Structure 1
């Protein structure tokens, strides 16, 4: 297994210490069948870069993200589409991929308007994450408190609306169940049809801006920036299982690979490793120094 680390430093870092220089690669995604890695260049004039991942990373292709500050990318299970969420202007996009994993054709640009009750963070649309589920593209919009939905041709479907001021960031599906981390109100929301279950993402007290959320089996993991912890909740009802220190400051992202949890602590410049014992993270006594890490990708 390779472990790729993206962030706001000089480029993409592998655990072996190899550095691939690329501007502000804040989020990474792997092609489902090809040895190709994609990076979102979180710049005002956003950029997408594709790399061939064989014996190191070699540039394959690049193009504009058609938006401001792309912060998330995802590849459709077929390997034929890449989606991008541009936080700065709320634009999302669908980019076609060819048989090599390179970009092809014109992108489908998905613009959005709206606002929320927080005047500082919700004055306009802010796309934060894109997920393909049941052949529908879902895009969390922190600015409008929605999970936007589109067919694969870009035609819109009715969005999933969340409570005003939630600020949806990262989210995950388990069948028809949807789990959403609320960056602005510090919650996790479970959406089951019209039913909503909302709980605090952290019980440590103080201000909290949850970042990444991931499902693993019957557990939900959430990274909490402020308390600097990782919470573990039961997927069935969001009841608490555990909450442990993240091993650094401002846990921006994490990844689970087998019985290991890797946490990207952005402000302390380290990726901290945990073992999972019955699903609960325990420090492995190992970390990697990386400038401003924001994404961890086991591939």
Structure 2
């Protein structure tokens, strides 16, 4: 099967096929089809099965299960997410668990995945008022990490036959930071602060080693997605509408370039290109990477309010 990107978003795409998950062939940027879905703002893939999972970002949140094929994904099942306004999900490397961050009420839910890829048992972890779970990441240490934008914390859960809160509790980050997305590289964690506009690096024990502004532009900045790839740390900046590139560990700024649109909600890197989901300009910008730096004059694939792009082969 050719390399395909699955694009989730909020409103009907410009191809007229309605709200849903769009499948696009990466090489030619040919639309393969769109599967109707309600608010699929984030999409994740099973590590072994040809299965996709997507949140339904609404007051009564849902999680949809879809089969991958030659064209648009095929709906298989849908169930409650266990909270309101789910905005992120992640599949454990084992392929046996699916974690969902429910932004609206701050809950975290973990669903068991059957051998077929369908979802079954669920653990629900409520949290206090003001919490806003935003991203779930399975660490290599058997711990599920969840950024809490409202509480300036990274919540931790032990993952095994059961899922339970970490006995040492959450990791406390800088007050007012608003941690949104994070990524691990080697023995270090990198976290984007949506509320204070920073990027921070931590060691494996969550000791802060450094912090820098995510953008040098004047005015408000609300960093969204962060990723570590090819020896660089990349951060999307909403407001300045740029992608910043940093050296790892030192967080020395290498470059800051236009994102190819407006309000970069998410991006993904594959085969020497960066695919940026620019939510407010209705397009995914395809930026070529040269020595790790996104280049200007991107090709833009038109799609309505994209919020997530997932390239797969």
- Pick which of 9-18 and 168-177 moved more: 9-18
Asked if 1:51 is matched to 2:69, the reply is no
Asked if 1:131 is matched to 2:137, the reply is yes
Q: What CA distance in whole angstroms lies between the structure 1 residues aligned with 2:52 and 2:246?
A: 31
Match of 2:189 in 1: 178
> After the TM superposition, which residues 1-299 of structure 1 pair with which residues of structure 2 at under 5 Å, given as runs?
1-9=3-11, 10-15=19-24, 16-17=30-31, 18-56=33-71, 57-104=73-120, 106-113=121-128, 124-133=130-139, 134-152=141-159, 153-157=162-166, 158-192=169-203, 193=205, 194-283=207-296, 285-299=298-312
Moved over 3 A (4+): none
Q: What CA distance in whole angstroms lies between the structure 1 residues aligned with 2:262 and 2:252?
A: 25
The offset of 1:155, in angstroms, is 1.5
Q: What CA distance in whole angstroms lies between the structure 1 residues aligned with 2:57 and 2:208?
A: 35
Q: What CA distance in whole angstroms lies between the structure 1 residues aligned with 2:61 and 2:102?
A: 8
TM superposition score normalised by structure 1: 0.94
Match of 2:27 in 1: none
Deviations, residues 233-285 of structure 1 (Å, cap 9, x unaligned): 00121010000001110000000002010000000101000111010001354
- The alignment of Structure 1 onto Structure 2 pairs a total of residues equal to 289
Deviations, residues 112-140 of structure 1 (Å, cap 9, x unaligned): 126xxxxxxxxx00000000002210000
Question: Does the CA contact (< 8 Å) of 1:137 and 1:150 recur in 2?
Answer: yes
SS of structure 2 residue aligned to 1:155: strand
Question: Does the CA contact (< 8 Å) of 1:275 and 1:284 recur in 2?
Answer: no
Q: Which runs of 5+ in 1 are unaligned?
A: 115-123
Q: What CA distance in whole angstroms lies between the structure 1 residues aligned with 2:218 and 2:233?
A: 20
Q: What CA distance in whole angstroms lies between the structure 1 residues aligned with 2:113 and 2:302?
A: 34
Question: Does the CA contact (< 8 Å) of 1:110 and 1:154 recur in 2?
Answer: no
RMSD: 1.0
The offset of 1:217, in angstroms, is 2.7
Q: What CA distance in whole angstroms lies between the structure 2 residues aligned with 1:216 and 1:30?
A: 19
TM superposition score normalised by structure 2: 0.90
Q: What CA distance in whole angstroms lies between the structure 2 residues aligned with 1:97 and 1:87?
A: 22
Q: Which runs of 5+ in 2 are unaligned?
A: 12-18, 25-29
Question: Does the CA contact (< 8 Å) of 1:273 and 1:284 recur in 2?
Answer: no
Q: What CA distance in whole angstroms lies between the structure 2 residues aligned with 1:141 and 1:285?
A: 33
Question: Does the CA contact (< 8 Å) of 1:48 and 1:65 recur in 2?
Answer: yes
- Pick which of 137-146 and 170-179 moved more: 170-179
